[in-house]
Amino acid sequence: MELFNLGKVPWDRSQLIYHALGELNREALSLVSPATPYVCLGFHQNVDVEVDLEYCRSQGIPVFRREVGGGAVFLDGRQLFFQLVLRKNNPLVPLGMEAFYRKFLEPVIQVHRRLGIPAEYRPINDLAANGRKISGTGAGHIGDSAVFVGNLILDFDYDTMARVLKVPDEKFRDKVHKTIRENLSTIRAELGPKAADLPDETGLNAMLAEEFSKVLGPFTPGRMDAELEAMMRTLGRKMLPESWLHRRGKRVNGRQVKVRAGLEVLHRVHKAKGGLIRVDRTVEDGRFRDVDISGDFFVQPKDAITRLELFLEGRPAADVRSLLADFQANHDFDLPGVTIEDWLAVLE
């Protein structure tokens, strides 16, 4: 299997290389990091919904749609990417998703542990240290290959991450910023003062290569040959134009930002007969957190909405219909023109 230990590369090559290796069915591990920052969009996301393109353009931050799932992320040179490309039918590739991630996250766990960070696998595709996510990963089929990608996060620019996302208002942005900061850690943050002893990029990539070879066998040096360059050019012509970026993605109701598996920040607006209802909320491991309801509906007494917010706090989001029925049956309030169906439109 080939090893492309390339270090810093132009931002577009940090994406095109694994797409090209996948299309060419060349089994390889690629270790790269972008020389300049960019935003990377999940395969089925709508760029107009997810990313503040105007801001990105004003700051010269390119936006790229990858052929791997997940959410929009801000990537820069303080993140080191590992990109594994294996033939779909390679016996090393487990059939089940969890087994796949568990197997190929193991080398990444070992690198963190060698650095002194107690990283652990968290199903299905997260790596956590001291309760916080510490690496982002994704996978998919490209060509006839199974591709696994992820990053070592040395430092993370939380401010720019929250800034490049498209948000309904600044309050939502603050919420996203706070939630990401609370739930995503970095290698430097975990190491604290010991970060001064952290190996440089070359050293970290050498550790990654060594740990991955324990799972994959020995590597041969990868060659940026004519075939690979030609495929990267071909894919660049397809994936770098605006038309690819603006492909239609999945339909989403309102705005939702996934921070990690099981943690989402959501915003929804719904026009009920009795007025506009707007709800900001977080769903953490299936439970409501920080439900914030506002709008221009009439409600008497005024504190009924605060009581509903408190009532929902910590309760299972999947039970929302019965929770709302329960609240309505046991609380005395008047909310004309707003039915349980209206509440479900913003809370389900």
Partner 1 sequence: MEIQGYNLPDDLYYDADHYWCKLEGGLIVMGMNDFAQKLAGEIVFVQLPFEGKKIQTGKKFAKVESGKWVGKVMGPVDGEIAASNQALETNPKLINQDCYGQGWMYKIKPDDPGKIDALTHGADKIRSWLLADIERYKKG
Query: Of 120, 119, 150, nearest to 136 (Cα)?
Result: 150
CB of 217 to partner 1, least distance (A): 17
What is the rounded distance in angstroms from the CA atom of residue 8 to the CA atom of residue 31?
9
Nearer to partner 1, 33 or 137 (CB): 137
Work out how close the CB of 22 gets to partner 1 at its nearest, in angstroms, rounded to a whole number: 11
Q: How far is the CB of 34 from partner 1 (least distance, A)?
A: 21
Q: Which residue has the tokens 């940090």?
A: 14
* Element at 87 (helix H, strand E): strand 79-87
Minimum CB distance to partner 1 smaller for 213 or for 256: 256
Minimum CB separation of residue 81 from partner 1 in Å reads 17
According to DSSP, the β-strands at 126-129 and 255-260 are unpaired
Q: Say how far apart CA 1 and CA 53 lie, in whole Å.
A: 39
Coil, helix or strand at residue 261: coil
Helix (H, G, I), strand (E, B) or coil at 204: helix
Residue 199 has φ and ψ, to the nearest 5°, of: -60, 160
Distance CA 247, CA 19 (A): 18
User: DSSP assignment, residue 62?
Assistant: -
In the complex, what is the shortest distance from the CB of residue 161 to partner 1, in angstroms, rounded to a whole number?
Answer: 20
Q: Which residues bind partner 1 (CB under 8 A)?
A: 43-44, 67-70, 94-97, 99, 101-103, 124-125, 138-141, 249-251
User: What letter represents residue 340's amino acid?
Assistant: I
Q: Which is nearer to partner 1, 66 or 173 (CB)?
A: 66
Closest CA to 206 of 330, 93, 111: 111
Find the shortest distance in angstroms from Cβ 95 to partner 1: 4
Tell me the torsion sign for CA atoms 168, 173, 174, 178: positive
Backbone dihedral region for residue 192 (phi beyond 0: left; psi -120 to 50: alpha; all else: beta): left
User: CB 101 → partner 1: shortest distance, Å?
Assistant: 7
Q: Which of 107, 151, 143, 149 is nearest to 26 (CA)?
A: 143
Indicate the SS3 state at residue 103.
helix
Nearer to partner 1, 103 or 178 (CB): 103
Amino acid at 201: E
Report, in Å, the least distance between residue 299 CB and partner 1.
Answer: 30
Q: Least separation, in Å, of the C-beta of 66 and partner 1?
A: 9
Determine the Cα–Cα distance for residues 152 and 108; give it in Å rounded to an integer. Answer: 8
Give the type of residue at 22.
G
